[in-house]
Amino acid sequence: MSCTNCGEDLKHVLGWKAWFDNSQVYDSRENKWEDLPDDGVQYIVIFYCDNTRQLQTSMDFYFQAPHSSGDTITGTGNSLADIKSRYPDAIIKSGRWSPDNYYYRIRNEALKAKWNAN
């Protein structure tokens, strides 16, 4: 089944937003994954064409890597060695612990986030 908005598969990734512990929020409309800070990730939200989203948080590492399908995979893991062995061309960012009150404020922002087709 294809998306009525873009004609792609319904699980086609529209984009992502990333929240960092320095209060910065980045999205794929204006930023490339490789240009994000190397560490300090708090939340990643991936938005799909079928209006669903995937939240990624509380991990040591976040990555994007080319997939054999030609798409890009965005994933997480707690073992840098495992990520590098499975995805040798991955661009990897590190998560970082933050105080609970700050983390929960960012979480609330991430949970409310929407992808606008602007």
Percent of the chain residues topping a pLDDT of 90: 70
Position 26 in a domain:
yes
**Residue 4 scores a pLDDT above 70:** no
CA distances from 32 to 10, 47, 78 (A): 23, 16, 23
- The reply to whether 74 falls in a domain is yes
Task: Domain count for the chain, please give it.
Answer: 1
The answer as to whether 7 is a domain residue is no
Higher pLDDT, 116 or 56: 56
Inter-CA distances, 14 with 58, 93, 111, 113, 118, Å: 23, 20, 17, 13, 11
Answer yes or no: is 25 within a domain.
Answer: yes
Please give the model's pTM, rounded to 2 decimal places: 0.85
pLDDT at 37: 97
CA pair distance 4, 64, nearest whole angstrom:
27
Q: Is the pLDDT of residue 89 over 60?
A: yes
What is residue 67's predicted lDDT score, i.e. its pLDDT? 83
Domain that holds residue 87: 13-110
Give residue-wise pLDDT tens across range 44-86: 999 988 889 999 998 899 999 988 878 888 999 999 999 999 9
Instruction: Quote the pLDDT of residue 49.
Output: 85
